[in-house]
C-alpha cells in the first residue's frame, strides 16, 4: 500500500513538474474583461488623447498592432496630424480591430505612447454620432513634422533655383553685351 501511495505521489509531482516545464516558455497573456460602458464625459476626462482620424497603415506583430492615423479633428492631447496608437493583436487581449482606410473616433490612454482597446469608447466614426455631438467642433492639428519640414525644403529649393536663374541671367546678359561690342 505504501508503494502505491509513493508511486502516486511521485507521478503527481512528475506531472506538475512536466506541466511547468512545458508552459513556462509560454508568454503571459491576460484575458480581456471590460467593466461595462463608460459615459462619454468620463471617457474624455480619463483619456490622454481624443481625436477623429483615418487609419493610414497598420503594422502587426505577434502580440500587438501599431496603427498610424491621420488625425483630422482632435479634441484633446493631439498637436500633430500624424498619430500612432498601439492596440492588442485581437481576440482575448482587448485589441481593437482597426481597418486600414476607415475613419474612427479614438479615445487613447497612456503617457509615453498612446494605446486603445475594445473596452473604451473608440468606435467607427459613422457610429459615433452621440459622442461627436457631445464633443463639439474640435480643433485643427498642425501638420506632422515630416510634412512641415518637406514644405520648408520646397521653399528653400525654390529660392535657390530663383537665385541660380538670376545669376545665369546676369552672366548671360554680360556675355551678350561683350559679344555685341566686338
Do residues 106 and 173 both lie within one domain? no
Do residues 131 and 88 both lie within one domain? yes
Do residues 147 and 131 both lie within one domain? no
Q: What is the DSSP string of 57-96?
A: EEEE-SSEEEEEEEEEEEEES--BSEEEEEEE-SGGG---
Do residues 66 and 119 both lie within one domain? yes
Nearest to 48 by CA among 127, 135, 106, 117: 106
pLDDT of residue 37: 86
Which of 21-30, 49-58, 90-99, 109-118 is least confident?
21-30
Do residues 55 and 71 both lie within one domain? yes
pTM exceeding the 0.75 threshold for the entire prediction: no
pLDDT of residue 5: 45
Domains in the chain, number: 2
Range of the structural domain that residue 92 is part of:
40-135
Instruction: Note whether residue 20 is domain-resident.
Output: no
Do residues 157 and 129 both lie within one domain? no
At residue 78 the predicted structure's pLDDT band, cuts being 50, 70 and 90, is very high
Query: In percent, how much of the chain has pLDDT > 70?
Result: 64
* Residues sharing a CB contact under 8 Å with residue 151, sequence separation 6 or more, in sequence order: 143
Do residues 85 and 149 both lie within one domain? no
pLDDT of residue 86: 96
Query: In percent, how much of the chain has pLDDT > 90?
Result: 49
Distance of CA 175 to the CA centre of its chain: 59
Instruction: Note whether residue 23 is domain-resident.
Output: no
Do residues 148 and 181 both lie within one domain? yes
Span 19-32, average pLDDT: 54
Amino acid at each position: 500500500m505504501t508503494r502505491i501511495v509513493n508511486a502516486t505521489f511521485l507521478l503527481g509531482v512528475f506531472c506538475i513538474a512536466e506541466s511547468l516545464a512545458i508552459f513556462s516558455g509560454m508568454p503571459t497573456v491576460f484575458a480581456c474583461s471590460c467593466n461595462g460602458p463608460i459615459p462619454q464625459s468620463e471617457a474624455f476626462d480619463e483619456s490622454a488623447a481624443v481625436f477623429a482620424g483615418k487609419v493610414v497603415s497598420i503594422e502587426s506583430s505577434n502580440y500587438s498592432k501599431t496603427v498610424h492615423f491621420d488625425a483630422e479633428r482632435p479634441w484633446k492631447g493631439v498637436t500633430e496630424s500624424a498619430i500612432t496608437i498601439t492596440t492588442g493583436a485581437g481576440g482575448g487581449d482587448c485589441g481593437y480591430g482597426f481597418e486600414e482606410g476607415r475613419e474612427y473616433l479614438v479615445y487613447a490612454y497612456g503617457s509615453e505612447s498612446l494605446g486603445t482597446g475594445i473596452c473604451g469608447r473608440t468606435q467607427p466614426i459613422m457610429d459615433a454620432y452621440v459622442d461627436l455631438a457631445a464633443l463639439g467642433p474640435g480643433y485643427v492639428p498642425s501638420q506632422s513634422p515630416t510634412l512641415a519640414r518637406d514644405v520648408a525644403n520646397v521653399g528653400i529649393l525654390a529660392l535657390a533655383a530663383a537665385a541660380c536663374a538670376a545669376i545665369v541671367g546676369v552672366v548671360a546678359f554680360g556675355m551678350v553685351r561683350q559679344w555685341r561690342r566686338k
